[in-house]
Amino acid sequence: MNNNTTTSAPFKSVQSGFDTSLFAKTTHNPSFASLTKQFTDINGLRDYCIPVNPYFPPPAIMEKLQERIAFALKYYPGSNENIAENIAQFSEVKNPKTIIAGNGSTEIISWLNSLFIKASLFVPVPSFGRWIEEPQGLGIELHTYRYEDSHNQYTSPEQLAAEVKSSGARNLVICNPNNPTGSILAREQVLWLLNELSYLDNIIVDESFIDFSGEEPPSIKNDVANYRNTWVLKSLGKNVGLHGLRMGFAISNEENIAKLRKHLPYWNVNGITEMLLHLIKDEHTSYHQSRMKTIADAIYLSERFEELPEFTVYPTHSNFIFVKLCDSINGTELRDRMLQNHGCFIRNCGNKLGSSEQYFRIAARPADDVNHLMDALKRELSSLQNPNNKLQSENSGIG
């Protein structure tokens, strides 16, 4: 089984056919399935939206998973506690009792939003949509603070603590590194923040992308259980390159985890996820190698974007980059033309609070995909700046 579908799809010239009206129907991007008519019409589509690890799991693990998949489908999975033990081993968290497994970390986000975050919430923006729209939908008062262009999308812990205090919010979510800006706080800075804001009801540190921040990620995964009010959240699906499977977890002190577990369905995580976790739990070396390759891809992507004078590229500490397009070109038009004319699916951040259609989050991909993206971008940027080129590009059906 080859899990790297976007790179392995034979490239062919794209002559439109993707339904861009799908973008208006969701505050997330349309799924790959909906754009490709349930994978029946890939039409050269390459996904630069979802930041994943394309180098994991190793092929031998995928073969074993495929061999055994019938068992995972025909028998009930284990309990949340059993699954948490495998997550602890794979993710090197010391105490499995401090872990709760989710059907994707989005499931845990929903439980935290519904059960733990009561009065008011502070989120620096732009951020992951589920930390913004779901609390808003639940009637939770939302306080925000915007990461600034002038500070390279970085906010110091001192500034953040001051903003949280003056807002009067009772809960805080920070993504570390932040999605979509790619900015990061060091472990000591996060621990300082936890102590400074110890009066809050809950502090959630979403470390979903931290494995791609560098060789030694500044995780607080083995500190968090010492705090009364703190949670670490972690998405696993994209990290292990199988985000269709739905895998994620939260870490907190044993008391908080036991409290949350009372509300979860007994079998909230499916058998295929359980089987995969069992197969990868000791794959530390291959996972480390895959992380490092993904990080190298992000560096290459960032360097290539620096070639484009139309974009400002912000420093990244993740497997994606955050870039800003100059005002003379319309971001939505560029997104649509990249999809229609080249099959390049890129994330425009126009529907994110604290952002605009001039900002993009671009996922790291292997060098060939990045080169393809750059060629396509250069053509479209030139077309959009020069109407004569635009006509030529439209007539030639450029791939």
Considering only CA atoms, which of 117, 118, 119, 172 is closest in space to residue 144? Answer: 172
Q: Does 316 engage in binding with ligand PLP (CB under 6 A)?
A: no
- Alpha helix ranges (H) inside the chain: 5-8, 32-35, 59-74, 80-91, 105-111, 133-137, 157-167, 187-196, 254-261, 271-280, 284-306, 331-342, 367-385, 387-396
Q: Does 32 engage in binding with ligand PLP (CB under 6 A)?
A: no
User: CB of 94 within 8 A of CB of 222?
Assistant: yes
The contacts of residue 56 (CB under 8 Å, 6+ apart) are 239, 240, 241, 283, 286, 287, 290
Question: Per-residue string for binding with ligand PLP, 88-107, x by CB under 6 A?
Answer: ----------------xxx-
Considering only CA atoms, which of 398, 381, 224, 228 is closest in space to residue 309? Answer: 381
With respect to ligand PLP, which residue has the nearer C-beta, 174 or 339?
A: 174
Dihedral, 67, 69, 71, 75 alpha carbons, nearest 10: 170
Min. distance of Cβ 155 from ligand PLP in angstroms?
16
The contacts of residue 24 (CB under 8 Å, 6+ apart) are none
Min. distance of Cβ 247 from ligand PLP in angstroms?
7
Among 55, 128, 212, 305, binds ligand PLP (CB under 6 A): 128
With respect to ligand PLP, which residue has the nearer C-beta, 168 or 244?
A: 244
With respect to ligand PLP, which residue has the nearer C-beta, 57 or 248?
A: 248
Among 237, 331, 343, 354, binds ligand PLP (CB under 6 A): 237
User: CB of 35 within 8 A of CB of 238?
Assistant: no
User: CB of 61 within 8 A of CB of 280?
Assistant: yes
Tell me which residues in 164-183 interact with ligand PLP (CB under 6 A).
175, 179
Among 235, 268, 270, 383, binds ligand PLP (CB under 6 A): 235
Min. distance of Cβ 17 from ligand PLP in angstroms?
26
Among 57, 182, 206, 291, binds ligand PLP (CB under 6 A): 206
Among 46, 243, 324, 342, binds ligand PLP (CB under 6 A): 243
- Alpha-carbon distance 281 to 294, whole Å? 20
17: left (phi over 0), alpha (psi -120 to 50) or beta: left
Size of the site for ligand PLP (CB under 6 A): 12
- Alpha-carbon distance 3 to 1, whole Å? 6
With respect to ligand PLP, which residue has the nearer C-beta, 206 or 310?
A: 206
With respect to ligand PLP, which residue has the nearer C-beta, 101 or 384?
A: 101
**Where on the chain is the footprint of ligand PLP (CB under 6 A)?**
104-106, 128, 175, 179, 206, 208, 235, 237, 243, 248
